[in-house]
Structure 1
Amino acid sequence: MSTPSQVIERIRKEMGSRLAIVGHHYQADEIIQHADITGDSLELSRKVAELEAEYIVFCGVYFMAESAAILRRENQKVFLPDTTATCAMAEMATADNVDKTLEMLSAGGRRIIPLTYVNSTAAVKTVVGRWGGTVCTSANAQTMMRWAMDQGDAILFLPDRHLGWNTGDVLGIPESERFILDRGLIDGDPKLFVDAQAASKAKLILWPGFCPIHEEFVLREVERIRKEEPEAKIIVHPECPPEVTSAADANGSTSFIIKYVEEAAPGTKIYVATETNLVHRLAKRYRNVKVIEPLQISYCEDMGKITEANLAALLEHIEEAEPVDVTEEVREHSKVALETMLNVCA
Structure 2
Amino acid sequence: MDKETLTQAVLELKRQRRAVILAHSYQLPEVQEVADFVGDSLGLAREAQRTEAEVIVFCGVHFMAETAAILNPEKTVLLPDLEAGCSLADSIRPEDILAWKAAHPDGLVVAYVNTRAEVKALADVCVTSANAVEVVAGLPEDRPIYFVPDMFLGAHVARVTGRRLDLFPGECHVHAGIREEHLKALLEAHPGAEFLIHPECGCGSGCLYLKPDAKMLSTEGMVCYAKAAEGREFVVATEVGILHRLRKEAPGKAFFPVKPDAVCEYMKRITLEKVYLSLRDLKHVVRVPEAVAEKARRALSAMVAVG
- So what's the TM-score if we normalise by structure 1? 0.82
Partner of 1:177: none
Does the CA contact (< 8 Å) of 1:225 and 1:232 recur in 2? no
| Residues 202-258 of structure 1: CA deviation (Å, up to 9, x unaligned) | x31000001111111111222233344321221110101232442441111011100
Report the Cα offset of residue 112 of structure 1: 1.0
Partner of 1:324: 286
Does the CA contact (< 8 Å) of 2:241 and 2:263 recur in 1? yes
Q: For the structure 1 residues 342 and 152, does the alpha-carbon distance in structure 2 shift closer, same or farther, using more than 3 Å as the test?
A: farther
3-state secondary structure, aligned to 2:138 = helix
Matched, 1:165 2:155: yes
Q: 1:259 aligns with which of 212, 224, 231?
A: 224
The whole-number CA distance in structure 1 between the counterparts of 2:188 and 2:304 is: 42
3-state secondary structure, aligned to 2:111 = strand
Partner of 1:121: 116
The whole-number CA distance in structure 2 between the counterparts of 1:333 and 1:145 is: 20
Structure 2 unmatched ranges of 5 or more: none
Matched, 1:250 2:240: no
Partner of 1:199: none
Partner of 1:58: 58
Matched, 1:38 2:1: no
Greater shift, 238-247 or 160-169, is seen at 238-247
Q: For the structure 1 residues 103 and 217, does the alpha-carbon distance in structure 2 shift closer, same or farther, using more than 3 Å as the test?
A: same
Report the Cα offset of residue 336 of structure 1: 0.8
Which structure ranks higher in relative contact order (CA pairs < 8 Å, sequence separation ≥ 6)?
2
Greater shift, 219-228 or 162-171, is seen at 219-228
Q: For the structure 1 residues 327 and 245, does the alpha-carbon distance in structure 2 shift closer, same or farther, using more than 3 Å as the test?
A: farther
Greater shift, 291-300 or 235-244, is seen at 235-244
Does the CA contact (< 8 Å) of 1:237 and 1:245 recur in 2? no
Matched, 1:309 2:273: yes
Does the CA contact (< 8 Å) of 2:81 and 2:284 recur in 1? no
3-state secondary structure, aligned to 1:56 = strand
Does the CA contact (< 8 Å) of 2:152 and 2:201 recur in 1? yes
Matched, 1:239 2:177: no
Report the Cα offset of residue 167 of structure 1: 1.1
Partner of 2:8: 6
Question: Who wins on radius of gyration, i.e. which is larger?
Answer: 1
Does the CA contact (< 8 Å) of 2:149 and 2:168 recur in 1? yes
Report the Cα offset of residue 157 of structure 1: 0.0
Partner of 1:185: none
Partner of 2:48: 48
The whole-number CA distance in structure 2 between the counterparts of 1:57 and 1:152 is: 42
The whole-number CA distance in structure 2 between the counterparts of 1:329 and 1:246 is: 43
Matched, 1:275 2:239: yes
Q: Which amino acid in structure 1 is aligned with residue 238 of structure 2? A: T
3-state secondary structure, aligned to 2:241 = helix
Greater shift, 333-342 or 96-105, is seen at 96-105
Q: Which amino acid in structure 1 is aligned with residue 128 of structure 2? A: T
Partner of 2:143: 153
Report the Cα offset of residue 286 of structure 1: 4.2
Partner of 1:334: 296
Q: For the structure 1 residues 245 and 168, does the alpha-carbon distance in structure 2 shift closer, same or farther, using more than 3 Å as the test?
A: farther
Partner of 1:79: 78
Does the CA contact (< 8 Å) of 2:130 and 2:218 recur in 1? yes
Does the CA contact (< 8 Å) of 1:283 and 1:293 recur in 2? no
| Residues 6-62 of structure 1: CA deviation (Å, up to 9, x unaligned) | 3212212333xx211111111111101111111111111111111111111100000
Does the CA contact (< 8 Å) of 1:112 and 1:152 recur in 2? no
3-state secondary structure, aligned to 2:121 = helix
The whole-number CA distance in structure 2 between the counterparts of 1:263 and 1:71 is: 32
Q: For the structure 1 residues 42 and 257, does the alpha-carbon distance in structure 2 shift closer, same or farther, using more than 3 Å as the test?
A: same
Q: For the structure 1 residues 322 and 264, does the alpha-carbon distance in structure 2 shift closer, same or farther, using more than 3 Å as the test?
A: closer
- So what's the TM-score if we normalise by structure 2? 0.92
Q: 1:211 aligns with which of 141, 165, 172?
A: 172
Q: For the structure 1 residues 44 and 245, does the alpha-carbon distance in structure 2 shift closer, same or farther, using more than 3 Å as the test?
A: farther
3-state secondary structure, aligned to 1:86 = coil
Structure 1 unmatched ranges of 5 or more: 174-202
| Residues 125-148 of structure 1: CA deviation (Å, up to 9, x unaligned) | 0111xxxx1000000001111233
Q: For the structure 1 residues 284 and 56, does the alpha-carbon distance in structure 2 shift closer, same or farther, using more than 3 Å as the test?
A: closer
Report the Cα offset of residue 294 of structure 1: 0.4
Give the CA RMSD over aligned residues: 1.8
Partner of 1:67: 67
Count, aligned residues: 300
Greater shift, 322-331 or 249-258, is seen at 322-331
Report the Cα offset of residue 259 of structure 1: 1.3
Percent sequence identity is 34
3-state secondary structure, aligned to 1:275 = coil
